[in-house]
Amino acid sequence: MDVIVSTLLLLFHVLTGSDAQAGAQSASTHQLLATMIAAPNSQQPNGPGGTTQTGTNPGTGTATPGGTGTGSNTGTEFVKHDPQPDAPEVKGIYVTAHSAGGARMESLLKLLDNTALNSMVIDLKDDNGYITYPTTNPELLKLGKPKKFISNINQTMERLKKHEVYPIGRIVVFKDTVLARSHPELSFVRKDGSIWQNGKGDSFVNPYKKEVWDYNIAIAKEAVKLGFKEIQFDYVRFPEGFEKKADSLKFEKNKDTRVDTIAAFVKYAKSQLEPLGVRVSVDIFGYAASVPAAEGIGQDFVKISKYVDVIAPMIYPSHYSTGWFKVKDPDKDPYATIKGAMVDTHKKLDPIGSYKPIIRPWIQDFTASWLGKGHYIKYGKAEVDAQIKALQDSGIHEYLLWNANNRYTADANF
């Protein structure tokens, strides 16, 4: 009954946009998808462990929409190389463009100076679709809308270098309300001609469109010139519940599945950025390691992982619903939840051998009060420490802390 109630509540949140700050992607969306995909009464949903996708080396194929997809063995074999072999073990924090370009940046730099934290994931294209700094790049201005959240990006990069911060640029890819509204032909259109949007008013652009691919990769290429060592792509997926609404929307597509289209984008991005000496990472729902591929949104944990240097599963305890990893309230048991998520992650990725990327999870440094009384606890040092300990006990030594307001627990055992 708890699962049914929580699912109904989460459906309400998704449709009304009433959920509070949650993580790199909506907590309610993540938890809802996890609940609906997994068997409600299972104690620990288990995916196939990647066994169906590890028998052959994927060929390079044609990494464009309408190409041969990612499962082909035609052409030369894909070989993974780390373009940043001397990179540190990353222990980082999320930094909004407002923080990076504002007064809070000073305290965040001091946090890194005084702890073992050494990296910042900074918004370069945010959740609305705005480029977060002024740019004169005509390739970006063709589709993008720059803002002055970070008024002097070069000065910001100099500050990061001075404080020995490993810089990661976050680019939100297919969730892009700005681009969808200015170019409806790149988005999903209802039969009445209006742009589709979710309950929060967010719109997505079409992952089948090569123009969208090249636009986001152009932002990444400029970020490399600015000095970013890694590009982290977020919202690399179709909208949640897309399989239920696709038939009622007008958009261009081809014969490729949604899963193959998303994996092909990641592969293409990697091929474009690796020669520049920059790592490519992708954020992905943490539950994706515990269930079969999420066909609706086009995310396959194994296929995406094969083509990135770093995979960043969002394994916030608050994102898991009742019963996951044999825990009644996952938010209240951060150690067991993180440990369970890592068991499933290793089970999925160990079989792919040399294709296995660095595993660098997002963990929780916020209090999920929206879960309701009795289902959450206040997060602080003990809870952050428990998550880090669970990662270490699972052989994982890199992680990223998420707090939407960029207020982090300074005395944790990083």
Q: Which is nearest to 94 in space by CA: 114, 116, 122?
A: 122
Q: Compute φ and ψ for 373, nearest 5 degrees.
A: -55, 130
What are the backbone dihedrals phi and psi of residue 230, each rounded to the nearest 5 degrees, phi first? -150, 140
Question: b/e per residue, 138-149, with b = 16+ CB within 10 A?
Answer: eebeebbebbeb
Angle at which helices 153-162 and 104-114 pack, to 10 degrees?
A: 20
CA 135 remoteness from chain centre = 25
- Structure tokens of 267? 């592969």
**pTM of the predicted structure, to 2 decimals:** 0.85
Q: Judge contact between 122 and 170, C-beta under 8 A.
A: yes
What domains can you pick out in the chain, each with its CATH number? Answer: 2-402 (3.20.20.70)
CA-closest candidate to residue 124, choices 267, 262, 227: 227
Main-chain dihedrals φ then ψ at residue 102, nearest 5 degrees: -125, -165
Among 105, 70, 47, residue whose Cα is nearest residue 313: 47
Report the candidate in 272, 263, 257, 276 with the shortest Cα–Cα distance to residue 355: 263
Report in angstroms the alpha-carbon separations of 337 from 47, 141, 193, 205, 329.
Answer: 16, 43, 44, 33, 9
Using DSSP's 3-state secondary structure scheme, residue 401 falls into strand
Cβ-based neighbour number of residue 403 at 10 Å:
18
Q: What is the bridge-based pairing of β-strands 279-285 and 230-234? A: parallel
Tell me the C-alpha distance between 113 and 120, whole Å.
12
Question: pLDDT tens per residue, the chain (414 residues)?
Answer: 443 434 443 443 333 333 334 455 655 455 545 544 443 333 333 222 222 222 223 233 334 454 444 443 333 456 788 999 999 999 999 999 999 999 999 999 999 999 999 999 999 999 999 999 999 999 999 999 999 999 999 999 999 999 999 999 999 999 999 999 999 999 999 999 999 999 999 999 999 999 999 999 999 999 999 999 999 999 999 999 999 999 999 999 999 999 999 999 999 999 999 999 999 999 999 988 998 888 999 999 999 999 999 999 999 999 999 999 999 999 999 999 999 999 999 999 999 999 999 999 999 999 999 999 999 999 999 999 999 999 999 999 999 999 999 999 999 999
Separation of alpha carbons 110 and 4, rounded Å? 45
Cα(176)–Cα(322) distance, rounded to whole angstroms?
32
